[in-house]
A and B are shown apart, each in its own frame.
Chain A
Amino acid sequence: MILIQILFIILILFILSRLLIRLKSHQVSILNFLIWLIFWIGAGVIVLYPEATNFLARLLGVGRGADVIIYFSLILLFYFIFYLTVRLRVIERQITEIVRKISLEKEEKRRN
């Protein structure tokens, strides 16, 4: 095993342990937990057997398996940023709704 594989495996094990803690404290749903579990186990497999991705690379016409992983990671990252932006907008609107409601009710109480 080369050093980078060891580092990656340690990182993945750390992330999995955090995930488990979050499941136990109900900060993440079981479905979400399973999706992330499969994702990170998959990542671990790729780290340990990088040749496995060469098959995918040939299929897609990309030079190396490692490149395929980088492309997919980038797409995934962009997707997450998009998802977070949308979520943030939703939360911003919800907070605004609450603040508005409180301001309307408070003034009415002050007047009566």
Chain B
Amino acid sequence: MTKNKNYQVAVIIPAYNEEQTIRAVISDVQKIVNQIIVIDDGSNDQTSEIAENMGVKVYRHMFNLGLGATLITGFAAALKNKADIIVTMDADGQHKAENIAQLIKPIISQDADIVIGSRLLYQGNHSMPGRRRFYNHLANFITYLIYGIKTTDSQSGLRAFSSAALKKIELTSQRMEISSEIFREIKDKNLRLVEVPIPAIYTSYSLSKGQSFTTGVKTFFRLILNRLI
């Protein structure tokens, strides 16, 4: 689909102890995209080995730094590898590679600089649990309060960036606050944001890997701290 085109798409997969799902995620993406970049955030398991054996690029943090730091490493790697469109995708298997084409469409048609795959915009059969949905609305509201950007899925892990946009934005987040920091940059750098509905697959595995209320509260305080310092 996006192979053999005149633009290079790179998919960044941040992974921390994902040996159970990483193989399936990589082989799913390999059908569609040539350039896959796995950032192993200091896993203690076989995540890196599995990914390396599948022939994809693997960048390895020597110890665990957090999602924000991991994505930023991924962006640096993708830009180094001369990607034109950079997609981020979770390693827990909740996103499907078949949605990538739809996700990057607004960037190819130059209608957007950044695209977010929104799980709440999706009208089909999806199973975001009620509590999750509530946290998500809360996070969206906080994002609106702090940055003044209305979004339906501020915490989505499936995003696409044009390389030009990625070169403009400046990120310093360490952990989960990266999602909100991206919104700050969209606003500060006047970037065009488009949301595309995407289904998300919730398994007990991906739920155990996602954000809890406690990490949400911690993220909120780190956001405030980021504003102060």
Contacts and interface: CB of A to CB of B under 8 A. Distances in A.
A89 B65 CA distance: 13
Interface string A77-102: 00000000110010011011001101
A102 B229 contact: no
Nearest to B60: A103
A95 B58 CA distance: 20
A60 interface: no
Given A107-B58, A107-B60, A111-B57, A100 B225 contact: no
B21 to A, nearest CB: 21
A80 to B, nearest CB: 15
B76 interface: yes
B62 A102 contact: yes
B72 interface: yes
Main secondary structure of the interface of B (DSSP, over half): mixed
Contacts of A85: 225, 229
B60 to A, nearest CB: 5
Nearest to B226: A89
12 contacts: A85-B229, A89-B229, A92-B174, A96-B174, A99-B63, A99-B65, A99-B69, A102-B62, A103-B60, A103-B62, A104-B77, A107-B77
